[in-house]
Copies of this chain bind each other. A is one copy, B any other.
Amino acid sequence: MSVGTELLLGEITDTNAQYISARLREIGVSVYRRETLGDNRSRLTGAFREALGRASLVIATGGLGPTDDDVTAECLAAALGLPLEFHEGAWEDMLEWYRVRGRTPSPGDRKQAMIIGGGIPFRNKVGTAPGQAILTGGKLACVLPGPPREMIPMFEEHLVPLIQSTFTDLVPLYIKNLKLTGIPEVKVGEMIRDLMDSANPTVAPYAGRGEIRIRIAAGSEDLAEARKMVAQVADEVKSRLRDYIYGEDDDTLESAVGEIMSRRGLSIATAESVTGGLVAHRLTNVPGSSRYFKMGMVAYSPAIKATCLGVPDEAIWKDEAVNEETAVSMASGVRTLAGAKIGLATTGFAGPTGGTEKEPVGTVYVAVSDEDGTEVERFIYTGSRRDVKEYGAGRALYVLWRRLKRSRRKPQGSKEGSGQ
C-alpha cells in the first residue's frame, strides 16, 4: 500500500512499490495486489481492513510524518482495532537522532513515536519517523516511511528478517543477471527459447536501450542447490551467447570496458560529434576511470575536427563531416593528441533537423583506433535526438568492448602484443 495524496495526483513517482515487489519476490513472498491511496482516514482504514482480510502480509509506505495529514499508522491501528500508544524507546531513538545533529525536536514529533499497541518500532537511521510492525492473528502488518532513502534501509534491516522469521516456509529465489549488448532482443529470444520454457529456474530477457539483461532465477529451500541450478543455466546461456555477454548483475558496459582497460594497462581518449559528450560521461561514471580515461573531445564544429583532431578537409566538407573517413580520422586523431592507446570516435546526425539523402538523421558512425589500426561501423537509428545520442553512445561502447575482447584473444607472437 503506497500512501500519499501526491501519488494519486501523479506529482511524484512511486518507486517504493516496485522495489518492495521485486525484493519480496526474491525472498519468496508472492505479491497479489498493490494499492495507492491518499492521506484520507476513512478510505485508508477501509483499504487496510480489506487488505488484512485478503493477505497474510500487508506493507504500507508513506504518511508517517509529524503533520495532521500523516494518518497511516492511525488508520492501520483502526483497521486492526488496536490503540496507538506512545513508545518511550521510539521517542528516545528520535531524541538521539536530533541530538547527534545538534537539533531539537518540534512538538509534532511526539506523534511519530506513537506505536500500535503490541507493535515493534523500527528505528529510522536516516530520518525521524520510525517504522513499525505488528503480528496479530497470524498476519504481519507494517508501515514504513515514504522517502526511499529511509524506506529501503529499514525494509532491508528490519522488515526482511522479520518476514523471514514470521513466515518460515518461504522459498527464496537465487537470481543472476547476465548483461548483453550488440544483439537484438528477438535474436536473444530465438537463441534461448527452450530455456525460457523452464519453470525453475526461470529465464527471461529484458531489453533496455541497446542492451539486454537475461534474468535467471531459481527457488530452492537449499540455497546451494538454487545457486547450482542458476549456474548451470547461466553456463548454458554463456555458451550460446558468449560473444555478447559483457558482465553480470551490477556490471555496466562502461565498467566492463574499464575493467579490461585497467587490467591491461590501456588508456583511452574519445572524440565525439553526434553523441555530444555522452560517451565520455558514461566512461567517467566508473570509479577509478581517471586511471585510463585521458581525454574526451566533443568536436561539434568542422573547424575543431580539423584543427584539433586533424580530420582532412575533404572529409569534413563532404556530408557535413558525417562519413566514414571523418570517424576514422577522429578516432586516430584523438588517440594521437592524447597519447592514448585507444581512440574512440562517433559522428552522425542526431536530428531533429540536418542529415542528407545519403546520411539521414539517425546515422551514426563509430570508429575505434588502436595499434592494430582502425575499424569503423555505420548504424542508423530512429527516434528522438536523445534516443540517437543514447543508442549511439551505447553502440560506441559496444564496439570498443568487442575490440578489447578480440584483441585479448590475439596470439602472443603477433606484432602488436600487449608488451608493446
Q: Which listed residue, B36, B280, B283, B385, touches A17 by the CB 8 Å rule?
A: B36
CA distance A326 to B281 in the complex (A): 21
Q: Which residues of B lie under 8 Å from residue A293 when comparing CB positions?
A: 276, 298, 300
Could you tell me the dominant secondary structure of chain A's interface residues?
mixed
Contact with B along A277-312 (1 / 0, CB 8 A): 111110111011110011111111101100010000
B-contacting 9-mer, from A5-13, A56-64, A67-75, A184-192: A5-13
A38-B43 CB under 8 A given contacts A285-B386, A295-B301, A298-B280? no
Q: Nearest chain-B residue to A384 (Cβ)?
A: B287
Q: Which listed residue, B276, B301, B352, touches A294 by the CB 8 Å rule?
A: B301
A395 within 8 A of B: no
Q: Which residues of B lie under 8 Å from residue A297 when comparing CB positions?
A: 295-298
**Among residues 200 to 248 in chain A, which have CB atoms less than 8 Å away from a CB atom of chain B?**
204, 206, 215
Q: Which residues of B lie under 8 Å from residue A277 when comparing CB positions?
A: 272, 277-281, 283-284, 296, 298
Pairwise interchain contact A352-B287, C-beta atoms closer than 8 A: yes
A308-B279 CB under 8 A given contacts A9-B21, A34-B8? no
A409 within 8 A of B: no
A171 within 8 A of B: no
Q: Which listed residue, B31, B35, B285, touches A35 by the CB 8 Å rule?
A: B35
Pairwise interchain contact A353-B288, C-beta atoms closer than 8 A: yes
Q: Which residues of B lie under 8 Å from residue A299 when comparing CB positions?
A: 295
A339 within 8 A of B: yes
CA distance A8 to B272 in the complex (A): 41
A10-B20 CB under 8 A given contacts A285-B385, A285-B386, A297-B295? yes
Q: Closest approach, in angstroms, between the C-beta of A212 and any C-beta of chain B?
A: 14
Q: Nearest chain-B residue to A18 (Cβ)?
A: B10
Q: Which residues of B lie under 8 Å from residue A386 when comparing CB positions?
A: 285
Stoichiometry, as copies per complex, reads 2
Q: Which residues of B lie under 8 Å from residue A11 when comparing CB positions?
A: 22, 204, 206, 215
Q: Closest approach, in angstroms, between the C-beta of A74 and any C-beta of chain B?
A: 19
Q: Which listed residue, B18, B270, B285, B298, touches A270 by the CB 8 Å rule?
A: B298
Contact with B along A22-42 (1 / 0, CB 8 A): 111100000111111110100
Q: Which listed residue, B7, B283, B287, B295, touches A385 by the CB 8 Å rule?
A: B287
A389 within 8 A of B: yes
CA distance A33 to B39 in the complex (A): 11
Q: Which residues of B lie under 8 Å from residue A287 when comparing CB positions?
A: 351-353, 385
Pairwise interchain contact B294-A295, C-beta atoms closer than 8 A: no
Q: Which listed residue, B18, B47, B276, touches A280 by the CB 8 Å rule?
A: B276
CA distance A296 to B277 in the complex (A): 8
A98 within 8 A of B: no
Q: Closest approach, in angstroms, between the C-beta of A163 and any C-beta of chain B?
A: 15
A337 within 8 A of B: yes
Q: Nearest chain-B residue to A295 (Cβ)?
A: B304
CA distance A98 to B18 in the complex (A): 35
13 of the cross-chain contacts (CB-CB < 8 Å) are A8-B33, A9-B21, A10-B19, A10-B25, A11-B206, A17-B36, A33-B47, A35-B35, A275-B281, A277-B284, A280-B280, A281-B389, A294-B301
Extra 6 A-B pairs, beta carbons < 8 Å, given A9-B31, A11-B22: A8-B21, A11-B204, A277-B284, A280-B298, A295-B297, A308-B308
The 5 closest A-B pairs by CB, nearest first: A10-B22, A276-B284, A277-B280, A296-B298, A10-B21
